[in-house]
Amino acid sequence: MRVQAQQIRRQLVSVFRAWGMSDAHADTTADMMVETDLRGVDSHGIGMLPTYDQEFRNGRLNMRPTFKKKRETAAMALVDADASLGHPAAAYGMNLAVDKCLTVGVGVVAVFNSHHFGAAGCYSRIAADRGVIGMVTSATRGVTMVPTFGAEPVMGTNPLAFAAPAKRNAPFELDMATTTVAAGKVRVYKLNHKPLPAGWVVDGDGKTVTDSAKGFQHVTDRDGGITPLGGSREAGSHKGYGLAVMVHVLAGTLAGASFSPIRNQTQKTSDPHNIGHFFMAIDPRAFRAEGEFEQDLDQVIDVLHNAKRVDANQPVLVAGDPERANKKERLEQGVPIPDDLMEQLRAVAKNASVPFVLAGS
């Protein structure tokens, strides 16, 4: 079923307000989730709402948080998210980093005591929209990545996002998991009853799994899991594994947030997740004259777009192009929601005692 973006936003806002979120935080969270769905990242948009519903009903989410700066200088800040859902805390952190970079050239903000924040690219995009370079990493709650040469999952999907503004072209916008695929995408394949591509998920013996239901079970049961970016050692999985550790060092270790394998042994299951995020913003005008960076980036993007094609009908793309194409199509045609997810969303609305506005769209 295809559902228009404004209906998805209305459903999300109604649920968040029923949970006790402030209007501002409900609007921010809904905007981030709808943008994620429009851009085709189905694993991190409204598909996450049933998980958030479970977290809310388990008492882990503080719906009326007060973000507190625990340390601060002109160029950095450490922020306690007060057990908030990640979207409002992350938007606050990235905007604070941008504010600082516009004053002193660079801004770095680390956030701890947060929860899942959706797609990392939503927050690096905030920086690009404000005319600066943005970089985002996040620690994760899930333990899903089986490290190179490992036989059990240890890391999460540990996302990395980067955005930079151009002038004539749209911004360069990279948003990626450091696993071969995000855990949520395995769930999306399961919801759509589609087989998994070989190399995404391995069982406890390191053998690839293509049945999406079985693959998702391996991920959730931690009997096997998702491969690092690259899939195998021969194809470069050690690089994805190394990037995943780097992401956690910045977003988890630097922020003072939890590392899930240790957390699982030392904290109660009812404790807030204490996820950490890292935000960096750089003002190009601190390094270059006004407009020079954007003009040079335009030239880089033009060269890439004009590279010789293997297929005349398939142009060479840069990061952000596919998502913008998805957004154009989905604004016109609506966002696809699988039947299984639709029933889960119906249950969420019922739990929140709000009208279900997605049916019959």
Please determine, for residue 111, whether its predicted confidence score (pLDDT) is greater than 50: yes
Which residue has better confidence, 72 or 260?
A: 72
Report pTM.
Answer: 0.94
Are 160 and 142 part of one and the same domain?
A: yes
Name the average pLDDT for the chain. Answer: 95
Pairing of strands 106-114, 76-80: parallel
Are 38 and 75 part of one and the same domain?
A: no
Contact 128, 171 (CB under 8 A): yes
Report the percentage of the chain scoring pLDDT > 70: 99
Contact 277, 122 (CB under 8 A): no
Are 162 and 281 part of one and the same domain?
A: yes
The number of beta carbons lying within 10 Å of the beta carbon of residue 314 is 8
Are 261 and 161 part of one and the same domain?
A: yes
Confidence of residue 185 (pLDDT cuts 50, 70, 90): confident
Are 132 and 169 part of one and the same domain?
A: yes
Structure tokens at 71: 């340390």
The closest of 170, 163, 177 to 119, measured between CA atoms, is 177
Q: What confidence tens digit (pLDDT) does each residue in 202-239 have?
A: 998 888 999 999 999 998 888 899 999 999 889 899 99
The CATH number linked to 160 is: 3.30.1370.60
CA 47-49-52 angle, 5° bins: 135
Are 240 and 172 part of one and the same domain?
A: yes
Are 249 and 133 part of one and the same domain?
A: yes
In single-letter form, the type of residue at position 200 comes to: W
Are 140 and 10 part of one and the same domain?
A: no
Q: Annotate 70-82 with b (16+ C-beta within 10 A) or e (fewer).
A: eeeeeebbbbbbe
pLDDT, residue 360, reads 58
Q: What confidence tens digit (pLDDT) does each residue in 79-107 have?
A: 999 999 999 999 999 999 999 999 999 99
Are 80 and 148 part of one and the same domain?
A: yes
Are 327 and 297 part of one and the same domain?
A: no
Q: What confidence tens digit (pLDDT) does each residue in 304-361 have?
A: 999 999 999 999 999 999 999 999 999 999 999 999 999 999 999 999 999 999 975 4
pLDDT, residue 361, reads 44
pLDDT, residue 264, reads 83
Range with lowest mean pLDDT among 2-16, 171-185, 240-254, 301-315 = 171-185
Range with lowest mean pLDDT among 115-119, 182-186, 253-257, 302-306 = 182-186
Q: What confidence tens digit (pLDDT) does each residue in 138-164 have?
A: 999 989 999 998 889 999 999 999 999
Are 305 and 253 part of one and the same domain?
A: yes
Confidence of residue 113 (pLDDT cuts 50, 70, 90): very high
Q: What confidence tens digit (pLDDT) does each residue in 115-134 have?
A: 999 999 999 999 999 999 99
DSSP structural state of residue 149: T
The CATH number linked to 219 is: 3.30.60.50
Domain carrying residue 47: 1-57+323-361
pLDDT, residue 191, reads 86
CA 145 to chain centroid, in Å, comes to 16
Are 7 and 145 part of one and the same domain?
A: no
Q: Which of 226, 243, 261 is the last residue of a domain?
A: 226
